[in-house]
Amino acid sequence: MEIYSHRRRLKVYTRPLARLIEQLQRLPGIGPKTAQRLALHILKRPDTEIQALAQSLIEAKQQVGLCQVCFHLSAEPVCEICRNPTRDNETICVVADSRDVIALEKTREYRGKYHVLGGVISPMDGIGPEQLSIQPLVQRVSGQQIKEVILAISPSVEGETTTLYVGRSLKLFTKVTRIAFGLPMGADLEYADEMTLARALEGRREL
Protein backbone atom coordinates (compact mmCIF):
# COMPACT_ATOMS: atom_id res chain seq x y z
CA MET A 1 0.00 0.00 0.00
CA GLU A 2 1.35 3.38 -0.94
CA ILE A 3 0.31 6.51 0.74
CA TYR A 4 -1.30 9.14 -1.48
CA SER A 5 -2.98 12.35 -0.55
CA HIS A 6 -6.67 11.72 -0.93
CA ARG A 7 -7.72 14.45 -3.28
CA ARG A 8 -4.98 14.61 -5.86
CA ARG A 9 -3.50 11.14 -5.44
CA LEU A 10 -0.04 12.63 -5.17
CA LYS A 11 2.74 10.59 -3.66
CA VAL A 12 3.47 12.46 -0.46
CA TYR A 13 6.40 10.51 0.98
CA THR A 14 9.57 9.28 -0.60
CA ARG A 15 9.46 5.47 -0.78
CA PRO A 16 11.56 4.40 2.26
CA LEU A 17 9.75 6.93 4.42
CA ALA A 18 6.37 5.67 3.21
CA ARG A 19 7.46 2.12 4.12
CA LEU A 20 8.52 3.18 7.63
CA ILE A 21 5.21 4.99 8.22
CA GLU A 22 3.31 1.98 6.94
CA GLN A 23 5.13 -0.37 9.36
CA LEU A 24 4.65 1.95 12.34
CA GLN A 25 0.97 2.26 11.56
CA ARG A 26 0.53 -1.48 12.03
CA LEU A 27 1.31 -1.11 15.73
CA PRO A 28 -1.65 -0.92 18.12
CA GLY A 29 -2.74 2.58 19.03
CA ILE A 30 -0.71 4.20 16.23
CA GLY A 31 -2.79 6.11 13.69
CA PRO A 32 -1.52 7.78 10.49
CA LYS A 33 -0.63 11.05 12.21
CA THR A 34 1.33 9.45 15.03
CA ALA A 35 3.08 7.16 12.53
CA GLN A 36 4.17 10.18 10.51
CA ARG A 37 5.36 12.02 13.61
CA LEU A 38 7.36 8.99 14.82
CA ALA A 39 8.89 8.39 11.39
CA LEU A 40 10.02 11.99 11.02
CA HIS A 41 11.41 11.89 14.56
CA ILE A 42 13.35 8.69 13.78
CA LEU A 43 14.95 10.33 10.75
CA LYS A 44 16.28 13.13 12.91
CA ARG A 45 17.92 10.89 15.50
CA PRO A 46 21.60 9.80 15.32
CA ASP A 47 22.38 6.57 13.46
CA THR A 48 23.61 4.82 16.62
CA GLU A 49 20.35 5.45 18.42
CA ILE A 50 18.27 4.05 15.57
CA GLN A 51 20.55 1.02 15.25
CA ALA A 52 20.06 0.34 18.97
CA LEU A 53 16.29 0.58 18.49
CA ALA A 54 16.29 -1.77 15.50
CA GLN A 55 18.59 -4.20 17.34
CA SER A 56 16.38 -4.25 20.44
CA LEU A 57 13.30 -5.00 18.31
CA ILE A 58 15.00 -7.97 16.66
CA GLU A 59 16.57 -9.29 19.87
CA ALA A 60 13.35 -9.05 21.87
CA LYS A 61 11.51 -10.95 19.14
CA GLN A 62 14.24 -13.61 18.90
CA GLN A 63 14.97 -14.09 22.58
CA VAL A 64 11.64 -13.77 24.36
CA GLY A 65 9.54 -16.90 24.37
CA LEU A 66 7.11 -18.52 26.80
CA CYS A 67 7.90 -20.03 30.19
CA GLN A 68 7.56 -23.83 30.05
CA VAL A 69 5.70 -23.87 33.35
CA CYS A 70 3.36 -20.86 33.37
CA PHE A 71 3.45 -19.58 29.74
CA HIS A 72 4.40 -16.05 30.80
CA LEU A 73 6.86 -14.20 28.53
CA SER A 74 10.40 -15.22 29.38
CA ALA A 75 13.89 -15.16 27.89
CA GLU A 76 14.74 -18.30 29.94
CA PRO A 77 13.04 -21.71 29.63
CA VAL A 78 11.49 -21.09 33.07
CA CYS A 79 10.55 -17.51 34.01
CA GLU A 80 11.80 -15.51 37.00
CA ILE A 81 8.47 -15.76 38.84
CA CYS A 82 8.40 -19.55 38.56
CA ARG A 83 12.05 -19.77 39.66
CA ASN A 84 11.63 -17.45 42.65
CA PRO A 85 11.84 -19.63 45.79
CA THR A 86 10.32 -16.96 48.03
CA ARG A 87 6.98 -17.05 46.20
CA ASP A 88 4.06 -19.16 47.37
CA ASN A 89 4.20 -22.40 45.39
CA GLU A 90 0.73 -23.56 46.34
CA THR A 91 -1.30 -20.73 44.83
CA ILE A 92 -1.74 -20.20 41.09
CA CYS A 93 -3.39 -17.13 39.60
CA VAL A 94 -4.81 -17.83 36.12
CA VAL A 95 -4.87 -14.93 33.64
CA ALA A 96 -5.63 -14.58 29.93
CA ASP A 97 -2.50 -12.71 28.90
CA SER A 98 1.04 -11.83 30.01
CA ARG A 99 -0.09 -8.18 30.24
CA ASP A 100 -2.33 -9.25 33.14
CA VAL A 101 0.66 -10.77 35.00
CA ILE A 102 2.42 -7.43 34.69
CA ALA A 103 -0.68 -5.55 35.92
CA LEU A 104 -1.06 -7.89 38.93
CA GLU A 105 2.66 -7.73 39.76
CA LYS A 106 2.39 -3.95 39.94
CA THR A 107 -0.15 -4.24 42.78
CA ARG A 108 2.56 -6.00 44.90
CA GLU A 109 -0.33 -7.81 46.64
CA TYR A 110 0.09 -11.21 45.10
CA ARG A 111 2.95 -13.52 46.05
CA GLY A 112 1.91 -16.78 44.40
CA LYS A 113 2.58 -18.19 40.94
CA TYR A 114 0.74 -17.59 37.67
CA HIS A 115 -0.61 -19.42 34.67
CA VAL A 116 -1.12 -17.56 31.38
CA LEU A 117 -3.82 -19.05 29.16
CA GLY A 118 -2.78 -17.17 26.02
CA GLY A 119 -6.26 -15.76 25.35
CA VAL A 120 -9.88 -16.54 26.14
CA ILE A 121 -12.31 -19.05 24.68
CA SER A 122 -13.97 -17.37 21.71
CA PRO A 123 -15.76 -19.67 19.26
CA MET A 124 -16.44 -16.70 16.94
CA ASP A 125 -12.67 -16.26 16.50
CA GLY A 126 -12.06 -19.99 16.27
CA ILE A 127 -10.45 -20.14 19.72
CA GLY A 128 -11.48 -23.23 21.67
CA PRO A 129 -10.05 -24.61 24.92
CA GLU A 130 -7.44 -26.62 23.00
CA GLN A 131 -5.92 -23.44 21.54
CA LEU A 132 -5.20 -22.20 25.07
CA SER A 133 -2.83 -23.58 27.71
CA ILE A 134 -5.70 -25.11 29.72
CA GLN A 135 -4.51 -28.73 29.46
CA PRO A 136 -1.03 -27.88 30.82
CA LEU A 137 -2.77 -26.01 33.66
CA VAL A 138 -4.88 -29.05 34.55
CA GLN A 139 -1.73 -31.20 34.54
CA ARG A 140 0.08 -28.68 36.70
CA VAL A 141 -2.71 -28.51 39.26
CA SER A 142 -3.41 -32.25 39.35
CA GLY A 143 0.25 -33.18 39.68
CA GLN A 144 1.20 -30.78 42.48
CA GLN A 145 0.16 -29.73 45.95
CA ILE A 146 -1.94 -26.66 45.09
CA LYS A 147 -4.03 -25.00 47.81
CA GLU A 148 -5.89 -22.52 45.63
CA VAL A 149 -6.32 -21.48 42.02
CA ILE A 150 -7.45 -17.88 41.56
CA LEU A 151 -9.15 -17.09 38.26
CA ALA A 152 -8.42 -13.49 37.23
CA ILE A 153 -9.89 -13.18 33.76
CA SER A 154 -11.39 -9.91 32.48
CA PRO A 155 -15.19 -9.86 32.73
CA SER A 156 -16.45 -10.12 29.14
CA VAL A 157 -18.75 -12.74 27.65
CA GLU A 158 -15.69 -14.71 26.47
CA GLY A 159 -13.92 -14.14 29.79
CA GLU A 160 -16.93 -15.49 31.64
CA THR A 161 -17.07 -18.60 29.44
CA THR A 162 -13.37 -19.14 30.04
CA THR A 163 -13.65 -18.67 33.81
CA LEU A 164 -16.46 -21.23 34.02
CA TYR A 165 -14.68 -23.72 31.75
CA VAL A 166 -11.35 -23.51 33.58
CA GLY A 167 -13.12 -23.59 36.94
CA ARG A 168 -14.97 -26.79 36.01
CA SER A 169 -11.73 -28.39 34.79
CA LEU A 170 -9.92 -27.71 38.07
CA LYS A 171 -12.58 -28.10 40.76
CA LEU A 172 -11.85 -31.80 41.21
CA PHE A 173 -8.28 -31.10 42.23
CA THR A 174 -8.30 -27.96 44.36
CA LYS A 175 -10.15 -24.95 45.68
CA VAL A 176 -10.99 -22.54 42.84
CA THR A 177 -11.80 -18.88 43.44
CA ARG A 178 -12.40 -15.93 41.14
CA ILE A 179 -11.44 -12.35 41.76
CA ALA A 180 -14.24 -9.93 42.60
CA PHE A 181 -14.34 -7.26 39.96
CA GLY A 182 -15.46 -3.82 40.92
CA LEU A 183 -15.29 -3.36 37.16
CA PRO A 184 -18.06 -3.13 34.60
CA MET A 185 -18.62 -6.00 32.18
CA GLY A 186 -16.21 -5.73 29.27
CA ALA A 187 -13.56 -3.89 31.29
CA ASP A 188 -9.98 -4.95 30.77
CA LEU A 189 -7.85 -6.27 33.62
CA GLU A 190 -4.88 -4.48 32.12
CA TYR A 191 -6.51 -1.08 32.45
CA ALA A 192 -7.75 -1.46 36.01
CA ASP A 193 -5.80 0.73 38.41
CA GLU A 194 -3.60 -0.99 40.97
CA MET A 195 -5.93 -0.22 43.88
CA THR A 196 -8.97 -1.72 42.11
CA LEU A 197 -6.99 -4.81 41.15
CA ALA A 198 -5.63 -5.27 44.67
CA ARG A 199 -9.16 -5.02 46.08
CA ALA A 200 -10.50 -7.43 43.43
CA LEU A 201 -7.85 -9.92 44.49
CA GLU A 202 -8.63 -9.48 48.15
CA GLY A 203 -12.38 -9.88 47.64
CA ARG A 204 -12.16 -13.14 45.68
CA ARG A 205 -14.82 -15.76 46.23
CA GLU A 206 -15.12 -19.45 45.68
CA LEU A 207 -16.40 -20.51 42.27
Interacting residues toward Zn ion by CB under 5 A: 67, 69-70, 72, 79, 82
In whole angstroms, how close is the CB of 11 to Zn ion at the nearest point? 49
Nearest CB to Zn ion, comparing residues 70 and 134: 70
Give least dist CB 58 to Zn ion, A: 24
Q: Is the Cβ of residue 82 or residue 151 nearer to Zn ion in the bound state? A: 82
Rounded CA-CA distance 199/196 in Å is 5
Which residues 6+ apart lie within 8 Å of 84 measured at CB?
Answer: none
**What's the burial of 46, exposed, middle or buried (CB within 10 Å: 0-12/13-18/19+)?**
exposed
Considering the complex, state which of residue 35 and residue 153 has its C-beta at the smaller distance from Zn ion.
153
Q: What are phi and psi of 3, to 5 degrees?
A: -100, 120
CB neighbours (10 Å) of residue 152? 25
Q: Strands, DSSP E only, in the chain?
A: 65-66, 73-74, 91-95, 113-116, 148-151, 175-178, 205-206
Residue 84 CB, nearest distance to Zn ion (Å)?
9
From the CB of 136, what's the least distance to Zn ion, in Å?
11
Shorter beta-carbon distance to Zn ion: residue 88 or 206: 88
